[in-house]
Amino acid sequence: MAVREIVVVPHGALSQEAEEIENIDDHVRNLARDMVETMYKAPGIGLAANQVGEAIKLIVVDVDYAYGDPKEKKKNPIIIINPEIGLCEGGDTFEEGCLSVPEFNVDITRPSCIQLTGVDLDGNPLKIEAEGLLARALQHEVDHLRGTTILDHASVLKRNIYRRRLKKQARKDR
């Protein structure tokens, strides 16, 4: 297992639509394990394969560990291949951040209850009914697989200000 580098905007993989996974081979299994380790190391509550530079339909989430009580926290990652969001209900607004969009937060309104299907690492079908933070994290990660980040949820104005900041930063770093 290894911690991978998390790519940040404007990296091309973040705006790329992820490809369906047809074979769960060693490459996919290793990537999934690395993503789990990378997520805990960050720390974050979820990660999509696009964020480590591989545009394939694979996400990992664990909404309890990163900010849980240190004494009783247990790692319990959910690994989902080819996730598909079905039924959605309700809606609420919450401020989101993203490991691939440093120093940026934006209020996003999303369904509060979702049903998600996919397969696990052994190829068994998965069906998850989620609400609250888990529903939000899953939708955020599925967004990544569509080539969308929280930047795309921001207003044009807010997005442009951030992009200008990035450019300035890039010039400084040179």
The reply to whether 154 sits near Zn ion by the rule CB under 5 A is: no
Which residue, among 97, 134, 98, has the nearest Cα to 114 in the 3D structure?
134
- Distance in Å, CB of 102 to Zn ion, minimum: 11
- Distance in Å, CB of 100 to Zn ion, minimum: 5
- Distance in Å, CB of 78 to Zn ion, minimum: 16
Cβ proximity to Zn ion, 60 vs 98, nearer residue = 98
Q: Which one of the spans 2-10, 91-99, 107-115, 161-169 is the region binding Zn ion (CB under 5 A)?
A: 91-99
Q: Which one of the spans 17-25, 77-85, 94-102, 124-132 is the region binding Zn ion (CB under 5 A)?
A: 94-102
Cβ proximity to Zn ion, 52 vs 81, nearer residue = 52
CA angle in degrees (0–180, nearest 5) for 103-105-106: 155
Q: Which one of the spans 61-69, 82-90, 97-105, 158-166 is the region binding Zn ion (CB under 5 A)?
A: 97-105
Widest distance between CA atoms in the chain = 48
The reply to whether 98 sits near Zn ion by the rule CB under 5 A is: yes
The reply to whether 13 sits near Zn ion by the rule CB under 5 A is: no
- For the question of residue 141 being annotated catalytic, the response is yes
Site string for Zn ion, 106-145 (x = CB under 5 A): ----------------------------------------
Query: How remote is the C-alpha of 68 from its chain's centroid?
Result: 19
Both structure tokens of 48: 């999509």
Instruction: Quickly count: other Cβ atoms within 10 Å of residue 144's Cβ.
Output: 25
Size, binding site for Zn ion by CB under 5 A:
1
- Distance in Å, CB of 98 to Zn ion, minimum: 3
Give the interface with Zn ion as residue ranges (CB under 5 A).
98
Active site residues: 141
